Amino acid sequence: MNLQLVLEQLLNGGQLGVTLFLMAAGLTLIFGIMNLVNLAHGSFYMVGAYLAVTFYRWTGSLVLGVLLALPATLLAGAVVEVIALRTLYERDHLDQVLATFGLILFFNELTAIIWGRVGLFTNLPGWLSGSVDFGATFSYPLYRLVIIVVGIGVAGALWYMVTRTRLGMLVRAGASNRTMVAALGVNIRLLYTLVFGIGAALAGLAGAMAAPIYAVQPGMGDPVLIQAFVVIAIGGIGSIRGALAGALIVGMVDTLGRAFLKPALATLISAPAAQSAGPALASMLVYLLMAVVLVLRPEGLFPARGR
């Protein structure tokens, strides 16, 4: 095992981490403020990806495609919030889980009807498609570096928004005391719709950036959703800081597990046994991690305060 490979895998883990963070941030904001468990969050990832591809094809520019997909996903999120989810805030988690489970089925089928079941594929524009060389033997895909940079940028912007702006103040206040925010004369419904839209747009951004490297297909949001839930459960539901920490932990554990678990096991047990146990264990690893975290800290690593 060489250092260069470890470094490359750490970058891979970081890239998965920021993607998961974009998903988890919206999920955890929506939970923290509106107390809503939104299984349909993965659908916005999917919608963002589809819209980015569609706009990319219209405009011929990937950047423009992604930038147009953001407000469009925000709008889609706002519409879903107003039509279906608004009435769910006061319901228990069970109702929310079921209703949003229904929405997943709806969105998956809707995209299948609009765009067909075949995956949509796009190519990266030339200037993004190469890889960056670090020294003679180490190179890394440029686009993945871009994803990491954008992800870090968005995390920073989100931090600034939550801690430094009026909207962020309302968001933080809303998370700990809803009636107080209402008492401030803020239009709470509008605030909720806005926060939901932003959460959806973050998921949409993750999907839009994933669009050129993965297959854009109905149901593509489901595995990401489950992982994002693992992230926020580990980080502490309702906490942005927890979402960031959880996303990086899950990104690293999953990537490094897939890369190094089998060779590591092979030094302990026989190679054929490692051959079969390695991949199985690697796919179970993040769930195992979550179970252990919740046993030791039932509210996650960074529990949100004030609730």
Partner 1 sequence: MRHGRRAIVFLGLVLLLAAVPPAAALLGQPFYVDLLRRVMIFAIAAVSLDLILGYGGMVSFGHAAYLGVGAYAVTILAVYGVHNGVLQWAAAVGASMLLAAAIGAVSIRTSGIYFIMITLAFTQMLYYLGISLDVYGGDNGMRLPMRSQFGGLIDLGNGTEFYYLVLGLLVLVVLFVRRLVDSRFGMVIRAAKSNEPRTRAIGFSPYPYRLAAFVISGGICGLAGALLINHTAYLTPDLMHWTRSGDILFMVVLGGMASTVGPVLGALVLLVLENALSNWTEHWQIILGPFLVLVVLFARRGLGGLLWREERDG
Partner 2 sequence: MRKIILAIAAGVLAGALSASPAAAAEKLKIGFITTLSGPTGIIGKHMKDSVELALEQLHGKVGGLETEVIFGDDQFKPDVGLQVADKMVKDDKVQFVSGVIWSNVMLAVAPAVTEKGVFMIGTNAGPHELAGSQCNRLFFTTSWQNDETPEAMGEFMQKQGINDVYLMAPNYAAGKDMLAGFKRTFKGRIVDEVYTKLGQQDYQAEISQLRAKNPKAVFVFYPGAMGINFIRQYDQAGLHGKIPLYSAFTVDDTTLPALGDNAIGLWSAGYWSSELDNPANRKYVSDFRKKYGYTPSFYGAEAYDGIMLIDSAVRAVKGNLADKEGMIKAMEKADYASTRGHYTYNVNHFPIENFYLLRAEKGPHGVVMKVERTIFKDHKDAYYQECKMK
Letter for the amino acid at 265? L
Beta bridge partners of 133: 139
Instruction: Identify the residue among 96, 193, 217, 239 touching partner 2 (CB under 8 A).
Output: 217
Residue 120: name its binding partner from partner 2, partner 1, none (Cβ under 5 to 8 Å by kind).
partner 2
User: CA 186, 99, 49, 75: dihedral to nearest 10 degrees?
Assistant: -30
Instruction: Identify the residue among 23, 33, 209, 220 touching partner 2 (CB under 8 A).
Output: 220
Residue 237: name its binding partner from partner 2, partner 1, none (Cβ under 5 to 8 Å by kind).
partner 1
Beta bridge partners of 201: none
Furthest CA-CA distance within the chain: 67
Q: How far apart are CA 63 and CA 37, in angstroms?
A: 31
Choose between 26 and 300: whose C-beta lies nearer to partner 1: 300
Q: How far apart are CA 125 and CA 57, in angstroms?
A: 12
Asked if 217 contacts 120 with a C-beta cutoff of 8 angstroms, the reply is yes
Instruction: Identify the residue among 114, 149, 180, 215 touching partner 2 (CB under 8 A).
Output: 215
Q: Closest Cα to residue 22, out of 80, 86, 66? A: 66
Restricting to residues 263-302, name those near partner 2 by CB under 8 A.
275, 279-280, 282-283
Binding site for partner 1 (CB under 8 A): 31, 37, 84, 87-88, 91, 93-95, 97-99, 101-110, 112-113, 226, 229-230, 233, 237, 276-277, 279-280, 283-284, 287-288, 290-291, 294-295, 298-300
Q: Closest Cα to residue 27, out of 168, 232, 219, 201? A: 232
| Binding footprint of partner 2 on the chain (CB under 8 A) | 2, 4-5, 8-9, 12-13, 15-16, 109, 112, 116-121, 123-124, 129-131, 139, 141, 143-144, 210, 213-215, 217-220, 223, 255, 258-259, 262, 275, 279-280, 282-283
